[in-house]
Structure formats: C-alpha cells, structure tokens
Amino acid sequence: MDRRLALVCGAGGFIGSHLVKRLKREGFWVRGVDLKYPEFSETEADDFIIGDLRDPYLCRDVVDRSFHEIYQLAADMGGAGFIFTGENDAEIMHNSATINLNILEAAYRRNCRRIFYSSSACIYPAYNQEDPDNPICVESSAYPAAPDSEYGWEKLFSERLYLSYQRNRGITVRIARYHNIFGPEGTYVGGREKAPAALCRKVAAAPPDGEIEIWGDGHQTRSFLYIDECIEGTIRLMRSDFTGPVNIGSEEMVTIGQLAKMIMQIAGKQLRIRYVPGPTGVRGRNSDNRLIREKLGWAPSQPLIAGLQITYDWINQRVGWKSNQLAYA
C-alpha cells in the first residue's frame, strides 16, 4: 500500500507540533509548514517548509501532491492579551482568513480528499456566556452569532467557508471547535500564553511566601483540555464520517481562582493572590461534549489535575524559583 501522506499547516505551533509527532508515530510521511520551526523541540516532520500561508503561490507549492490528510491549524492567535484588546483585530481577521482561503483552494485544486479545520469555542455567542455557573456552548447555539472577538468572527466565517467547499466542491471537511488546549511545549510567556501556562509560570517563578496577579476577579469560569486528549479527539474526528463542527474540550469547569489554587497545590506553595484589571473575555465557558460522545464515542480520559501536573513540571524546569536561585547563585 502507498505510504500515507499528511500535511500539517501551523506545524511550528503548539498543537501542530504535537500533531506531527503523533502522525509520525502512526507511520505517515509528514510535511509541516509554518512561519517558524517549533520553539521547544526539533520538528519530527519529514519535510518542513518555512513559508507564509497568506501567499497563494506558496500554498500551491506546499500542496504539490494529493495528501490523504490535511490539518489546517495555522492562524494568527494568542491568549486574552492578544485577542481581546482590539489592537490586533485587522491583523487577526486578514491573516487567518487569507490563510484559510488559500489553503482550501490549493487543496481542492490538487484533489486532496480530506481537510481538518481547527475552529474555536470563541465562536459561541457572548450572550450565552454571561453566567459563569451556566455557560451554554452546545454546538447548535452558535447562531444567532455574536462572538465576543474578531478572532471568533473569523473562525465562524472560516467554518462556513470549509462547509461551502464540502457542499459545492466535494472536498471532505472536518471541523473541531477547540476549548482551551494546554500542555508542555506551549507558549508560557510573552503575552500570547493562555491561563494555565501563565498561572503555572507565575506560581513556579514566585518565592514560597510570594504573591501572584490574576486578571479579573477570579470568578470567571473555563475548562481546559490537555494536549494529548486534543490530538486524540482530532484524529478520531478526522477519520470519522462526521463533519462537525463539534466541540473538542473538557467538561471539567473551574473558576480561574480554583485553577490557580490547583496549580499552587501541585507546586506545594500557598501564595497570595492579587486580582487586577485585565482582559478576561466572557464570564463563563465550558465544553459541551454530548455531540462528540454521541458521534465519536470520545471524551477526555484524564482529569484536569493530571495534565496540569505535567505542564507545571515542564514550565517549572524553565522558570522555577529554585532553579532561578541556583542559576544566579
């Protein structure tokens, strides 16, 4: 049988680099493409193209054969500090939409059979996420649309773009709405990091009697999914006969204050928490996994604390207070 071929767009990013590793373990020949190589470990891709997917000619060169599986993860994105300030809206809308238009057209022209698109929980209407104890994120609640960021609007536009190519041009698409993915080798500093990584960094770097800052009042709720679970859900969706869009997330909802306490418990530190104003996004968000359970029989296999432990250890090795002390001793 011919060797299976996969293309991962955004292979230098957090989820993309983990996905490449998984596809390599499965025996695929993998091409990665990104503006940059993965930050924290060498890529395992057989071929890695450094290039800008906003360029349609680059996309045509990248999709130079009939890949069995294409995963489109490239996007201009970041944590709350990047998405919710409003300062990066034009960049986010233009860059991500252009990437999706280009890569989908290139895949169609090369007769690729199957393409996965990573959408986001950020597409859900803000009006359903005002009560932190009872956010509504069931797939069917996406419309009437009212995402709270331009990042969410672009994702919604691109979901429709992919679905229209499936409808009119016969290309098979699979769409997941990811909910807060975290784990080792994810950004933990610089403004694009998400809450679990940012809190792990703050707790790790603080002296044992220190203090950490949290944006907002700590009562906003979220759920977080460990990277290995995300990859498993993604692969299962890709190879299923279900199009989606479908949530890939965890239903273990916690407040940001509780998340900070879990991380302190892992670290064995009792730190003071100072709540400061900052961009926080919606008041509440949680994955609703009924549809994915029904269609794919999938749910996360581990509790939040298990993934947090691994992530904390990884970040602590880099910025931990003790290791700082040793480094400066």
* Residues near ligand NAD, by CB under 6 A: 10, 12-16, 34-36, 52-54, 73-77, 95, 99, 118, 120, 178, 180-181, 194
- Whichever of 52 and 251 has its CB closer to ligand NAD, that residue is 52
> How many Cα atoms occupy the beta-carbon half-sphere of 191 within 13 Å?
6
For ligand NAD, give the closer residue by CB, 170 or 190: 190
Taking the least distance from each CB to ligand NAD, the nearer of 124 and 206 is 124
Count CA atoms closer than 13 A to 117's CA, side-chain side.
30
**In the complex, minimum distance from the CB of residue 261 to ligand NAD, in angstroms, rounded to a whole number:** 21
Query: How far apart are CB 1 and ligand NAD at their closest, in Å?
Result: 30
Q: Is 235 left (phi over 0), alpha (psi -120 to 50) or beta?
A: alpha
Minimum CB–partner distance for residue 319 and ligand NAD (Å) = 19
Other CB atoms within 10 A of residue 183 CB: 23
Instruction: Locate 307 and state its tokens.
Output: 């993934």
CB of 233 to ligand NAD, least distance (A): 12
Closest to ligand NAD by CB, 35 vs 163, is 35
Q: Nearest to ligand NAD by Cβ — which residue?
A: 13
Q: Closer CB to ligand NAD, residue 15 or residue 214?
A: 15
Pairing outcome for strands 114-120 and 69-72:
parallel
Nearest distance, CB of residue 157 and ligand NAD, angstroms:
13
Contact 125, 146 (CB under 8 A): yes
Q: Which residues contact 128 (CB under 8 A, 6 or more apart)?
A: 135, 136, 137, 141
**Helical pair 304-319 and 256-267, crossing angle rounded to 10 deg:** 60
- Active-site amino acid positions: 151
Tokens of 233: 């859900």
